[in-house]
Amino acid sequence: MRAAVFIFIGLLLNELQPAQGQGEKCYRDTRCRRADKGRGRAAWFLKRGSSTCYKTWVTGCKNCGMRSLFDCKHWCISDD
């Protein structure tokens, strides 16, 4: 019974994670500069005024953009 309670609490806490500022990562800010392909890191951003995510190579930012298309769609577009 205890294990079921801990699993339920873990799942509940996992669902509450969007409160950690995930929405701030949806758009590219001034710290994120576009990089040549192969340099920097790939990041997914939400296109302003749209419900479309796009991938670009960026440098100069660590906590900006999503790691995958799924993350971008889940955190930035999904209403669930």
| Cβ neighbours of 54 (radius 10 Å) | 13
Residue burial 68-78, b: 16+ Cβ < 10 Å; e: rest: eeebbbebbee
Overall pTM surpassing 0.85 (yes/no): no
pLDDT, tens digit (0-9, with 9 covering 90-100), for 1-60: 888 776 766 665 555 454 344 556 888 887 788 887 668 888 999 998 888 999 999 888
CB–CB of 56/34 below 8 Å? yes
pLDDT at 40: 85
Domains of the chain: 23-80 (4.10.410)
pLDDT, tens digit (0-9, with 9 covering 90-100), for 46-57: 998 888 999 999
Whether the pLDDT of residue 62 is over 70: the answer is yes
